[in-house]
Amino acid sequence: MLRFSARFAVAAVALLAFAPGALASVGVGSNAGSPKLRVDAKGNAEISYTQGRQKTTVLVPAQGPIEYGGTLAGRDVSKPAKSPKLPFLKVLRSGPHGWTYALQTWPARSGPVELRFSRWQGTPTKLTLKATRGHSGIALHGTVTYGGKPIPIVSEAPGGLAIREYVYLDQRLAGRWQIVSSVSVERNGTYRHVLNTEEIGNLFRAAVAGPNIGSVYAPDVVVQIPPP
């Protein structure tokens, strides 16, 4: 494994600055080209991508902190996977002991497009979105689950920091996505926001960063629906 260098320390700080409010699946790069994913027999994962002509690697150990610039010591034992279907998916691979590994991009609200890494077992993150018209406006509401249960309302960020889980709501107006709100997830996995503006777009979007639970970095989910 390569040692953690000052150059990659700066890169790590920059990635955290681009991440959404709830750090769940792990941000490993921005505006990343040709992303690749390798996993060894111990469950350590190596992500590589290019920025311009420069190749970058990130090592996400099965246990312990992320190493920017790190590489696998062992051979890749993962295999390409076809399911589950994830939004903005770049790479999906299955590894030892029933673990699934993925690289996704995050739908940017501002700034560069982020490349995000996730690993999990069993049923991934699921998100529902409904739009209901009422007297006070349009209610955007739904549920968020992981492993078939409501997601934890607090996610474990790198360094042990606990951060509240949010659903990010946007609407598409005049061909562009505009921010509606960031809504906290309740203990039963539900969320709700009432949109009372006269300007209503032709699409609504909800996005959630899957929760971090110990060594699990659950995948992100994005859902789009038309207005009622």
Q: Which of 66, 89, 121 is the last residue of a domain?
A: 121
Residues 42 and 78 both lie in one domain: yes
36: exposed, middle or buried (C-beta count within 10 Å: 0-12, 13-18, 19+)? middle
At 5 the pLDDT is 34
Distance in angstroms between the alpha carbons of the first and the last residue of the chain: 53
Q: What is the mean pLDDT of the chain?
A: 85
Distance from C-alpha of 142 to C-alpha of 192, rounded to nearest angstrom:
7
Average pLDDT (186-207) is 92
At 158 the pLDDT is 58
Give every CB contact of residue 90 below 8 A, 6+ residues apart in sequence.
Answer: 35, 103, 104, 105, 115
At 7 the pLDDT is 33
Sign of CA dihedral 90, 149, 61, 94: negative
Domain interval for residue 200: 126-225
Output 4 or 106, whichever has higher pLDDT: 106
Residues forming beta bridges with residue 67, ordered by sequence position: 59
The number of beta carbons lying within 10 Å of the beta carbon of residue 196 is: 10
Residues 140 and 220 both lie in one domain: yes
Long-range contacts of 49-57 (CB under 8 A, 24+ apart): 49/115, 56/11, 56/29, 56/32, 57/2
At 1 the pLDDT is 31
Residues 56 and 139 both lie in one domain: no
C-alpha distance from residue 220 to each of 116, 137, 164, 187, 198 (Å): 9, 28, 15, 19, 30
Sign of CA dihedral 20, 87, 195, 191: negative
**pLDDT tens-digit readout, 16-64:** 333 333 346 788 888 899 999 999 999 999 999 998 889 999 999 998 8
Output 214 or 160, whichever has higher pLDDT: 214
Residues 43 and 139 both lie in one domain: no
Residues 103 and 153 both lie in one domain: no
The pLDDT-based confidence of 4 (bands split at 50, 70, 90) is very low
Residues 137 and 184 both lie in one domain: yes
Q: Which of 65, 90, 121 is the last residue of a domain?
A: 121
- Does residue 12 form part of some domain? yes
CB 100 within 8 A of CB 92: yes
Q: How many domains does the chain have?
A: 2
**pLDDT tens-digit readout, 123-182:** 999 999 999 998 889 999 999 999 999 999 887 665 666 778 999 999 999 999 999 999
Distance from C-alpha of 22 to C-alpha of 95, rounded to nearest angstrom:
26
Average pLDDT (63-76) is 92
Query: If we measure between CA atoms, which residue out of 93, 100, 91 comes closest to residue 79?
Result: 93
Distance from C-alpha of 56 to C-alpha of 8, rounded to nearest angstrom:
9
At 24 the pLDDT is 60
